[in-house]
Amino acid sequence: MPLDVPSYAFALPDGVDPPALVSFLGTRFDVVSEAAEPLTVTVVDTADRRLREAGVDLSLHGSRAAATLVMREQAGSAPLTAPAGRHRRWLVEDLPDGPLRDHLAPIVEMRALLPLARVRAEVQPLQVRNSDRKTVVRLRLTTHAALVDDGEAVPLTPRLEVAGVLGYPRPLDRLVMVLTTESGLADAPASLADEAIAAAGGDPEGIRSKVRVTLRPDQRTDKAAVAVLRDLAGMVEANLPGTLADLDTEFLHDLRVAVRRSRSVLRELSDAFPAEPLARQREALKWIQSITGPTRDLDVQLLDWGHLLAGVPAERHAALAPVHTLLERHRSSALRTLTRELRGSKFTGTWAAYRAFLDGRLGPARDRPDAKRPIAEVAGGRIAKVYKRMVKAGRAIDDSSPPDDLHDLRKRGKELRYLLEFFGGLWPTDVVKPMVKSLKGLQDVLGTHQDREVQAHNMRDLADDLAGEVGGPEALLVLGVLIDQLEAEQHAARAGFAERFAAFASDDQRKLVARTFS
Amino acid sequence: MKVVATYNIKGGVGKTSAAVNLAALAARDGLRTLLWDLDPQGAASFLFRVRPKVRGGGRKLVRGKSEVADVLRGTDVEGLDLLPADFSYRHMDLVLDESGKPTRRLRKVLAPLADHYDLAVLDCPPSISLVSESVFDAADALLVPLIPSTLTLRTFEQLGGFIDTEVDRRPEIIAFFSMVDRRKRLHREVVESLPDGRTDIARSAIPAATEVELMGVERSPVVVHAPRSRGARAYGELWAEVRGRLDL
Domain boundaries, chain A: 7-199, 207-370, 386-518
Residues ≥6 apart with Cβ < 8 Å to A104: A51, A56, A58, A71, A92, A95, A113
Mean pLDDT of A59-69: 84
Residue A518 has pLDDT above 80, yes or no: no
Q: How far apart are CA B137 and CA B168, in angstroms?
A: 7
Residues ≥6 apart with Cβ < 8 Å to A411: none
Q: Given this model, what pLDDT does residue A343 score?
A: 97
Question: CB neighbours (10 Å) of residue A222?
Answer: 22
Mean pLDDT of B102-107: 84
Residues A163 and A138: beta-carbon distance below 8 Å? yes
Counting other chains too, the contacts that B241-246 makes at CB distance below 8 Å and 24 or more residues apart are B241/B174, B241/B202, B241/B203, B241/B204, B242/B4, B242/B22, B242/B141, B242/B143, B242/B174, B242/B202, B243/B26, B243/B29, B245/B141, B245/B172, B245/B174, B246/B2, B246/B4, B246/B140, B246/B141, B246/B172
3-state helix, strand, coil in chain A (%, to 5): 60, 15, 25
Q: Given this model, what pLDDT does residue A287 score?
A: 98
Which of the 8 DSSP states describes residue B185?
Answer: H
Torsion of CA B85, B88, B91, B97, to 10 degrees: -80
Using the Cβ of B32 and the Cβ atoms of chain A, whether some distance falls under 8 Å is answered with yes
**Torsional sign, CA A374, A376, A379, A380:** negative
Using the Cβ of A1 and the Cβ atoms of chain B, whether some distance falls under 8 Å is answered with yes
**Pairing between β-strand B141-146 and β-strand B2-6 as defined by DSSP bridges:** parallel
Residue bearing the bigger pLDDT, B91 or A295: A295
Nearest residue in A to B116, CA atom: A3
Residues B78, A98: C-beta atoms closer than 8 Å: no
Going by C-alpha positions, the residue among A31, A20, A6, A7 that lies closest to residue A182 is A20
With bands split at pLDDT 50, 70 and 90, how would you rate the model's confidence at A315? confident
Residues ≥6 apart with Cβ < 8 Å to A346: none
Rg from Cα positions in chain A = 28
Nearest residue in A to B117, CA atom: A3
Task: Label residues A127-143 b or e (16+ Cβ within 10 Å = b).
Answer: bbbbeeebbbbbbbbbb
Please give the angle made by the CA atoms of A488, A494 and A499, to the nearest 5 degrees.
135
Using the Cβ of A35 and the Cβ atoms of chain B, whether some distance falls under 8 Å is answered with no
Question: Domains in chain B: how many in total?
Answer: 1
With bands split at pLDDT 50, 70 and 90, how would you rate the model's confidence at A7? confident
Instruction: State whether CATH 1.40.20.10 applies to domain A386-518.
Output: yes
With bands split at pLDDT 50, 70 and 90, how would you rate the model's confidence at A1? low
Lowest-pLDDT range, A37-51, A502-516, B69-83, B148-162? B148-162
How close does chain B come to A80, measured CA to CA in Å?
A: 5
Residue A58 has pLDDT above 80, yes or no: yes
Q: Given this model, what pLDDT does residue A408 score?
A: 95
Q: Residue B209 maps to which CATH number?
A: 3.40.50.300
Q: Given this model, what pLDDT does residue A501 score?
A: 95
Q: How far apart are CA A393 and CA A390, in angstroms?
A: 5
Q: Given this model, what pLDDT does residue A76 score?
A: 54
Q: Given this model, what pLDDT does residue B195 score?
A: 62
Residues B174 and B145: beta-carbon distance below 8 Å? no
Going by C-alpha positions, the residue among B109, B111, B159 that lies closest to residue B136 is B159
Q: What are phi and psi of A167, to 5 degrees?
A: 90, 0
Residues ≥6 apart with Cβ < 8 Å to A345: none
Mean pLDDT of A316-328: 89
- Strands of A130-183, DSSP E: 135-147, 153-155, 159-164
Nearest residue in B to A98, CA atom: B248
Mean pLDDT of A268-279: 95
How close does chain A come to B113, measured CA to CA in Å?
A: 8
Residue A60 is inside which H or E element, if any? Answer: strand A57-61
Nearest residue in A to B71, CA atom: A167
Q: Write the residue in B76, B80, B112 that is nearest to A1 by C-beta.
A: B112
Lowest-pLDDT range, A182-186, A251-255, A449-453? A182-186
Mean pLDDT of A207-221: 93
Residues B30, A167: C-beta atoms closer than 8 Å: no
Which range of residues forms the domain containing residue B212?
2-246
Residues A188 and A10: beta-carbon distance below 8 Å? yes
Model pTM score: 0.74
Q: Given this model, what pLDDT does residue A66 score?
A: 80
The average confidence (pLDDT) of chain B is 89
Q: Given this model, what pLDDT does residue A449 score?
A: 93
With bands split at pLDDT 50, 70 and 90, how would you rate the model's confidence at A437? very high
Class of domain A7-199: mainly beta
With bands split at pLDDT 50, 70 and 90, how would you rate the model's confidence at B93? confident
Residue A424 has pLDDT above 90, yes or no: yes
Q: How far apart are CA A137 and CA A166, in angstroms?
A: 9
With bands split at pLDDT 50, 70 and 90, how would you rate the model's confidence at A459? confident
How close does chain B come to A36, measured CA to CA in Å?
A: 18
Q: How far apart are CA A193 and CA A42, in angstroms?
A: 9
Q: How far apart are CA A248 and CA A225, in angstroms?
A: 30
How close does chain B come to A132, measured CA to CA in Å?
A: 6
Residues A325-378 pLDDT 10s? 999 999 999 999 999 999 999 999 999 999 999 998 888 888 899 999 999 999
Residue bearing the bigger pLDDT, B104 or A113: A113
Mean pLDDT of B71-84: 94
Residues B81, A80: C-beta atoms closer than 8 Å: no
Using the Cβ of A131 and the Cβ atoms of chain B, whether some distance falls under 8 Å is answered with no
Q: How far apart are CA A466 and CA A469, in angstroms?
A: 5
How close does chain A come to B62, measured CA to CA in Å?
A: 17
Report the SS3 class of residue A142: strand
Q: How far apart are CA A104 and CA A113, in angstroms?
A: 10
Q: Given this model, what pLDDT does residue B10 score?
A: 83
ipTM of the complex: 0.90
Q: How far apart are CA A199 and CA A219, in angstroms?
A: 35
Residues B30, A133: C-beta atoms closer than 8 Å: no
Residue A59 is inside which H or E element, if any? Answer: strand A57-61
Residues A197 and A51: beta-carbon distance below 8 Å? no
How many percent of chain B have pLDDT more than 70?
99
Going by C-alpha positions, the residue among A243, A261, A244 that lies closest to residue A252 is A243
Contacts of A166 in chain B (CB under 8 A): 72-74, 81
Q: Given this model, what pLDDT does residue B87 score?
A: 87
With bands split at pLDDT 50, 70 and 90, how would you rate the model's confidence at A417? very high
Contacts of B81 in chain A (CB under 8 A): 3, 166-167
Q: Write the residue in A77, A138, A166 that is nearest to B73 by C-beta.
A: A166
How many percent of chain A have pLDDT more than 90?
66
**Torsional sign, CA A437, A443, A449, A452:** negative
> Highest mean pLDDT range out of A59-63, A332-336, A489-493?
A332-336
With bands split at pLDDT 50, 70 and 90, how would you rate the model's confidence at A77? low
Q: Write the residue in A3, A78, A127 that is nearest to B79 by C-beta.
A: A78
Residues A167, B73: C-beta atoms closer than 8 Å: yes
Q: What's the farthest any 2 CA atoms get from each other in chain A?
A: 83
Q: How far apart are CA A258 and CA B136, in angstroms?
A: 59
With bands split at pLDDT 50, 70 and 90, how would you rate the model's confidence at A34? confident
Residue bearing the bigger pLDDT, A111 or B147: A111
How many percent of chain A have pLDDT more than 70?
98
Same fold, A207-370 and A386-518: yes
DSSP states of A2-53: -----EEEEEPPTT--HHHHHHHHHHHSEEEEPPPEEEEEEEEE-TT-HHHH
Q: Given this model, what pLDDT does residue B61 score?
A: 85
Q: Write the residue in A76, A98, A132 that is nearest to B49 by C-beta.
A: A132
The CATH homologous superfamily for domain A207-370 is CHAD domain (1.40.20.10)
Q: Given this model, what pLDDT does residue B232 score?
A: 95
- Strands of chain B, DSSP E: 2-6, 33-37, 73-74, 80-83, 119-123, 141-146, 172-177
Q: How far apart are CA A313 and CA B31, in angstroms?
A: 35
Residue A412 has pLDDT above 60, yes or no: yes
Going by C-alpha positions, the residue among A386, A376, A373, A389 that lies closest to residue A424 is A376
Tell me the residue type at A465.
D
Going by C-alpha positions, the residue among A89, A191, A113, A82 that lies closest to residue A146 is A191
**Pairing between β-strand B33-37 and β-strand B80-83 as defined by DSSP bridges:** parallel
Question: CB neighbours (10 Å) of residue A96?
Answer: 11
Residue bearing the bigger pLDDT, A191 or A167: A167
Nearest residue in A to B115, CA atom: A1
Residue bearing the bigger pLDDT, A311 or A119: A119
Residue A169 has pLDDT above 90, yes or no: yes
